[in-house]
Structure 1
Amino acid sequence: MNRAITLLLSGALAVMAVGQEKPNIILVMTDDQGYGDLACHGNPILKTPELDKLHAESVRFTDFHVSPFCTPTRAALMTGNHPGVTGAYRTSSGRTMMHPDEKTIANLFADAGYVTGMVGKWHLGDNAPHRPQDRGFQSVLWHRCGGIGQASDYWGNDYFDDTYERATSDNKQGVFEKFEGCCTDVWFRESIRFVETYKDRPFFLYLALNAPHGPYHVPLKWAKPYQGNKQVPNPNFYGMIANIDHNMGILRRRLDELDLAENTILIFMTDNGTSAGGKFKGLDSEALVGYNAGMRGKKSSVYDGGHRVPFFIHWPKGGLSGGKDIGTIAAHIDVLPTLADLCDVPVSEGYDLDGVSLKPLLKGQPLERKHHVVQYHGGAHGKAMPPGPLAFSTVMTERWRLVNSDGQYLFDIEADPAQRNDVASEHPEVVERLRALYDPFWERVSPRLTPVRIDLGNPDQNPTVLCSQDWQMEKGNPPWNFGAIRKLPKVTGPWLVNVKRAGRYRITLRQWPEEADKPVVAVRAKVEIAGQERETSVEPGSKGVSFELDLPAGSTELVTYLFDKQGKAGGAYFTDVKLLTAQQEDAPQP
Structure 2
Amino acid sequence: MKLVVCLLSSFGILVSSFSAQPNIVLIMVDDFGYECITANGGESYQTPNIDKLAATGVRFENCHVQPLCTPTRVQLMTGRYNVRNYINFGTLLRTETTFGHLMKNAGYATGICGKWQLGGEVDSPQHFGFEESCLWQQTRRPPRYANPGLEYNGVEKNFTQGEYGPRLVNDFALSFIIKNKEKPFFLYYPMILTHNPFQPTPDSPDWDPTISSENKQQSPTHFADMTAYMDKMVGRVVAKLDELGIRDNTLLLFLGDNGTNTGITSRFKGADYKGGKGTTTSHGTHVPLIVSWPAVMKQGRVSKDLVSSSDFLPTICAAAGVAVPATVDGVSFLPQLKGDTGTPRDWLYTWYSPRQSKDMTVKEYAFDQRFKLYRTGQFYDLGADDMEKQDLAASVLASDAAAAKAKLQAALDHFKDARPAELDRVFKDSGKGKDKTAKKKAKKKQNKEE
Q: 1:223 to 1:110 in 2, by over 3 A?
A: farther
**Alignment check: 8 A CA contact 1:237 1:276 kept:** no
Whether 1:361 and 2:336 are equivalent positions in the alignment is yes
Q: 1:483 to 1:213 in 2, by over 3 A?
A: closer
1:13-39 superposed Cα distances (whole Å, 9 cap, x missing partner): x9xx87993200110001001111122
2:103 alignment partner, one of 109, 129, 132:
109
1:311-336 superposed Cα distances (whole Å, 9 cap, x missing partner): 111101122x4111111211110100
Equivalent in the alignment of 1:374: 350
Q: Which runs of 5+ in 2 are unaligned?
A: 1-12, 208-218
**Alignment check: 8 A CA contact 1:372 1:397 kept:** yes
Indicate the structure (1 or 2) with the bigger Cα radius of gyration. Answer: 1
Whether 1:472 and 2:432 are equivalent positions in the alignment is yes
Whether 1:238 and 2:207 are equivalent positions in the alignment is no
SS at match of 2:28: strand
Q: 1:258 to 1:382 in 2, by over 3 A?
A: same
SS at match of 1:298: coil
Distance 2:370 2:444 in 1: 41
Distance 1:224 1:52 in 2: 27
User: Which is strand-richer, 1 or 2?
Assistant: 1
1:483-534 superposed Cα distances (whole Å, 9 cap, x missing partner): 999xxxxxxxxxxxxxxxxxxxxxxxxxxxxxxxxxxxxxxxxxxxxxxxxx
* CA-CA distance at 1:163 after TM superposition: 2.4
2:396 alignment partner, one of 414, 418, 426:
426
* CA-CA distance at 1:382 after TM superposition: 7.1
Alignment of 1:128-207 (within 5 A): 131-144=124-137, 152-154=140-142, 157-167=143-153, 174-179=154-159, 181-207=163-189
Normalising by structure 2, report the TM-score.
0.81
Normalising by structure 1, report the TM-score.
0.63
Distance 2:75 2:205 in 1: 32
Distance 1:28 1:223 in 2: 27
Q: 1:362 to 1:238 in 2, by over 3 A?
A: same
Whether 1:80 and 2:79 are equivalent positions in the alignment is yes
* CA-CA distance at 1:45 after TM superposition: 2.3
Q: 1:414 to 1:481 in 2, by over 3 A?
A: closer
**Alignment check: 8 A CA contact 1:303 1:403 kept:** no
Aligned length: 409
* CA-CA distance at 1:422 after TM superposition: 4.0
Distance 1:75 1:85 in 2: 11
1:263 alignment partner, one of 238, 242, 249:
249
User: Which is helix-richer, 1 or 2?
Assistant: 2
* CA-CA distance at 1:411 after TM superposition: 2.6
**Alignment check: 8 A CA contact 2:357 2:442 kept:** no
Alignment of 1:207-356 (within 5 A): 207-219=189-201, 221-222=203-204, 234-276=220-262, 278-279=264-265, 290-291=267-268, 298-319=276-297, 321-348=298-325, 352-356=327-331
Distance 1:244 1:347 in 2: 32
2:408 counterpart letter in structure 1: L
Distance 1:41 1:393 in 2: 28
1:255-301 superposed Cα distances (whole Å, 9 cap, x missing partner): 1010011011111001000105635xxxxxxxxx7549877760011
Q: 1:410 to 1:481 in 2, by over 3 A?
A: closer
**Alignment check: 8 A CA contact 2:30 2:194 kept:** yes
Distance 1:30 1:126 in 2: 21
Distance 1:242 1:276 in 2: 19
1:306-358 superposed Cα distances (whole Å, 9 cap, x missing partner): 11111111101122x4111111211110100111111211225xx51011111
SS at match of 1:341: helix
Equivalent in the alignment of 2:364: 393
What is the alpha-carbon root mean square deviation over aligned residues? 3.2
SS at match of 1:365: coil
**Alignment check: 8 A CA contact 1:37 1:46 kept:** yes
Q: Percent identity?
A: 29
1:307 counterpart letter in structure 2: T
SS at match of 1:195: helix
Distance 1:143 1:415 in 2: 40
Q: Quick check: 328-337 or 429-438, which moved more? A: 429-438
Q: 1:123 to 1:138 in 2, by over 3 A?
A: same
**Alignment check: 8 A CA contact 1:223 1:235 kept:** no
Distance 1:402 1:294 in 2: 26
2:220 counterpart letter in structure 1: N
**Alignment check: 8 A CA contact 2:200 2:206 kept:** no
**Alignment check: 8 A CA contact 1:224 1:235 kept:** no
1:439-460 superposed Cα distances (whole Å, 9 cap, x missing partner): 322411353633669xxxxxxx
Q: Which runs of 5+ in 1 are unaligned?
A: 1-13, 146-150, 168-173, 226-232, 280-288, 387-391, 454-469, 486-590
Alignment of 1:541-556 (within 5 A): none
1:537-581 superposed Cα distances (whole Å, 9 cap, x missing partner): xxxxxxxxxxxxxxxxxxxxxxxxxxxxxxxxxxxxxxxxxxxxx
SS at match of 2:193: coil
* CA-CA distance at 1:218 after TM superposition: 2.7
Equivalent in the alignment of 1:24: 23
